[in-house]
Amino acid sequence: MRGPIRRALVAASAAVALLVPAATASASASGTVVLSWAPTTSAGTYNYGTTHAGQTVSKAFSLTNSGSTGTSALKITLSGSSAFIKTADTCTGTSLGPKKTCSVTITYAPATGGQNDTATLTGTSNKPAAAASLTLRGASAPKSSPVIATTPSPGGPVGSTVRDTAALSGGSSPTGTITFNLYGPTAAASCSGAPVDTETAAVTGNGSYTTPAGATPSQAGTYWWTASYGGDAGNAPAVSGCGAEQVTISALAVTAISTIPSPGGPVGSTTVQDTASLSGGSSPTGTITFNLYGPTATASCSGTAVSDQTVSVAGNGDYSSPSFTPTQAGTYWWTASYGGDAGNAPAASGCGAEQVFISSKLTLGIGLAAGQGGPVGTTVQAFAALEGGDNPTGTITFNLYGPSATASCSGTPVDTETAAVTGNGSYTTPAGATPSQVGTYWWTASYSGDANNNPAVTVCGGQQDQSVTITQTTTTTVTSSVDPLVGEGAVTFTATVSPVPDGGTVAFYEGGTPITACGAQQVDTSTGTATCQVTYDSAGTYVITAIYSGYTVFGISVGDAIQTVSP
């Protein structure tokens, strides 16, 4: 019996050697294969511990063959949670000799917070058959709960740009975006419906973030901001509450503009200006544009303005345009427009509210009269009268031409004088002329004109009284045909003018009384004489006077004689 028992024990012993667990070792006729993983945190397990979502932890694991024979080509498998990723491997396909080691790197990368992940890393040899497994464990920390606090910018009048600022805190290296929405206008907080503005800011950590552009509401009223953080792998979303951020957009101030144009006047000399009074504004700034249109018979403010001027505004008050001088007569039309600013609405005066009339230059009347002439050596004057002018200024120039028998005002004048004009009225040659030759002279007067009045000139010889004559001095003598006369009888008186004139008459007087039928006796142009016959019937002494009338350039002269009549 001892033999069979012994063989049974030997057989049993051989069976124990062959039943080495497949996960750790394998025996063959030439030796054994024993595989094991390291490191471990506990038997058959490696625990990565707790990490944050979005972060990664890598670990290199060594696979060692502590057996006495080599493996076949190794196969490495990783099963379980996808949070474990094989990132390096020198084992797969390797025939691992006795006492040799290869390595596999496994990275733990949890995608979200609050995960508990498990995976199994297995190395297998088919011949001799052997395997080694390692349980991998890891956990991700719960998501952080960041806090978002917001601060809106102040409101303002319609047209103001408003912004929102969100302060993100308590996050775990937050990324992602913050979305800003502006709702309204509504009297009470309301954040439903379509926002009037939506903007997004990229998040790169805890800190403050502001709307990139800001919103410019076009209506007055109350608006409501919201700011929402979208969260990321390690951070929960966060949002501000509707009603936590209100901003008020006020209506623009209603400005009023009233205008007063300067008076018109004659073309070329009148400078026009417009004054605009701005009121009702809220500390208005910006500009007022003054436009002048025309000339047109009716109000028309289209087309190109003849004057386009802009002045700066610095509050309510009066503003005047730069001056402008129209070059055409007619009716012009001012407009004044305030452009508005952030707090004030635009305002404009209406076309036709401001008209200004530019008149043509006045053509005034000028009259001329010559003073008395006289013999050579006489100083002669001229008188000019201006009427119908618009406060005329300038000068009147007097010219004296001659001597000539007929009106002739060409050539060089014998006298030129100038009088300053200070309005409508009469003006006289300042000095007068003293011609040195006998003959007829002709005055002219010309007004220079000014900004309001056209020039004016008299016509040469146009008026009879524009001429003046410088005469030849004459003498007249009286003789009697009978002196003394004794008794009754007729006496012939002869008046002789010297030098002999080319015409004229002689009037005879006795004692200052005209002698009948001898009032205008024609002078004989060959002798220069004229006669008058008087019959006396009483004794006495009589004074006879002869007055020569003068003619053309021959001057007046007087002569007398004493006639005696005896009984």
In a domain, 177, yes or no: yes
pLDDT the model gives residue 9 = 30
Shared domain for 132 and 201, answered yes or no, is no
- Provide the CATH number for the domain around residue 275: 2.60.40.10
Last residue of a domain, one of 140, 171, 204: 140
pLDDT the model gives residue 343 = 78
Shared domain for 288 and 207, answered yes or no, is no
pLDDT digits (tens, 9 = 90+) for 474-484: 999 999 999 99
Shared domain for 132 and 163, answered yes or no, is no
Band (pLDDT 50/70/90 cuts) for residue 57 is: very high
Shared domain for 496 and 560, answered yes or no, is yes
Tell the residue number behind the tokens 């000539």, with chain if given. 404
- Beta strand extents in 39-188 (DSSP E only): 45-51, 57-65, 75-80, 84-89, 100-108, 116-126, 129-140, 147-152, 156-157, 164-169, 175-183
- Provide the CATH number for the domain around residue 176: 2.60.40.1930
Shared domain for 77 and 134, answered yes or no, is yes
Shared domain for 182 and 264, answered yes or no, is no
In a domain, 35, yes or no: yes
In a domain, 15, yes or no: no
In a domain, 187, yes or no: yes
Two tokens at 427?
A: 């003006």
- How many domains does one find in the chain? 5
In a domain, 79, yes or no: yes
- Domain ranges, residue 127: 21-140
Shared domain for 431 and 416, answered yes or no, is yes
In a domain, 11, yes or no: no
Q: Quickly list DSSP for 527-544.
A: TTEEEEEEEE-S-EEEEE
- Provide the CATH number for the domain around residue 393: 2.60.40.3930
Shared domain for 381 and 458, answered yes or no, is yes
List Cα–Cα distances, 201 to 33, 54, 180, 208, 302, in angstroms: 60, 21, 8, 10, 48
Shared domain for 99 and 194, answered yes or no, is no
**Which residues are bridge partners to 562 per DSSP?**
543
In a domain, 229, yes or no: yes
Last residue of a domain, one of 118, 140, 162: 140
Whole-prediction pTM: 0.42
Shared domain for 289 and 351, answered yes or no, is yes
pLDDT digits (tens, 9 = 90+) for 58-108: 999 999 999 999 999 999 999 999 999 999 999 999 999 999 999 999 999
In a domain, 13, yes or no: no
List Cα–Cα distances, 553 to 150, 207, 470, in angstroms: 114, 118, 6
Last residue of a domain, one of 87, 119, 140: 140
pLDDT the model gives residue 526 = 96
Shared domain for 35 and 117, answered yes or no, is yes
Q: What percent of the chain shows pLDDT beyond 90?
A: 63
Shared domain for 467 and 484, answered yes or no, is no
